[in-house]
Chain A
Amino acid sequence: DTEVTQTPKHLVMGMTNKKSLKCEQHMGHRAMYWYKQKAKKPPELMFVYSYEKLSINESVPSRFSPECPNSSLLNLHLHALQPEDSALYLCASSQVASYNEQFFGPGTRLTVL
């Protein structure tokens, strides 16, 4: 299995809702990433997990809460989001111990009303 999967594909939520995005990979990668991508912009790094531990938090607001429950799974918990948080949220994974390809999932298209 050489794919990163993400659910849901689309999510519409109100500003008071709590929701979660899910990412899964079965390639044995021990580094996993969350990126945010606005329209016509490059992906922007949000979080990096390495060996299930958070190693980078790019000054992301606390309304985004990442979780890595095991080596195959990465979650992003969302609470009290703002309309400007509407974007494509991409998960990626890679091997560790050298620079290797980051494999991206298809993304979750999030709309905050």
Chain B
Amino acid sequence: GENVEQHPSTLSVQEGDSAVIKCTYSDSASNYFPWYKQELGKRPQLIIDIRSNVGEKKDQRIAVTLNKTAKHFSLHITETQPEDSAVYFCAAPEPSGAGSYQLTFGKGTKLSVIP
């Protein structure tokens, strides 16, 4: 099955600085990579995803890059704000039959943005 490694486990940055979180995956057939943000006591919410036919995707202050050869993908947050403080999970999928798929999550990165 898929194995996803995520680093770092904790990250503290000053407000306005950039944050980078990195993930590696094991299954070269994987072609969809979502990032979820989970605030304390809340549900995981998708913040950005990337498919293997592109190398980078941006949405305002958030970007994701994908290197299929090296089997790694990264989340970049620029101009961090206190409301970016949360746990971030990367994930990779495996088909689970009849059009559904299961997500294997990384262990998570707790991001703290210091005002």
Residues of A whose CB lies within 8 Å of any CB of B are 30-31, 33, 40-43, 45, 48-51, 53, 55-56, 58, 90, 94-99, 101-107
**Closest A residue to B43 using CB positions:** A104
**Closest B residue to A53 using CB positions:** B98
Residues in B with CB closer than 8 Å to A43 are: 44, 89, 103, 105
Whether the Cβ atoms of B106 and A42 lie closer than 8 Å is yes
Whether the Cβ atoms of A48 and B100 lie closer than 8 Å is yes
Give A83 to B111 CA distance when docked, in angstroms: 30
Whether the Cβ atoms of A56 and B102 lie closer than 8 Å is yes
Which 4 A-B residue pairs are closest in the complex by CB-CB distance? A96-B99, A42-B105, A99-B32, A31-B100
Contact of A107 among B31, B32, B43, B99 (CB under 8 A): B43
Whether the Cβ atoms of B100 and A90 lie closer than 8 Å is no
Residues in B with CB closer than 8 Å to A103 are: 46
Contact of A104 among B45, B49, B104 (CB under 8 A): B45
Give A33 to B102 CA distance when docked, in angstroms: 8
Whether the Cβ atoms of B98 and A96 lie closer than 8 Å is yes
Give A101 to B48 CA distance when docked, in angstroms: 10
Type the 1/0 row for B28-43, where 1 means its CB is closer than 8 Å to any CB of A: 0001101010000011
Whether the Cβ atoms of B44 and A41 lie closer than 8 Å is no
Contact of B102 among A30, A48, A95 (CB under 8 A): A48
Residues in A with CB closer than 8 Å to B105 are: 42-43
Whether the Cβ atoms of B96 and A90 lie closer than 8 Å is no
Q: Which of B42, B44, B108 has the most CB of A within 10 A?
A: B44
Residues in A with CB closer than 8 Å to B36 are: 104
Q: How far is the CB of A75 from chain B (nearest CB, A)?
A: 18
Type the 1/0 row for B76-105, where 1 means its CB is closer than 8 Å to any CB of A: 000000000000010001001111111111
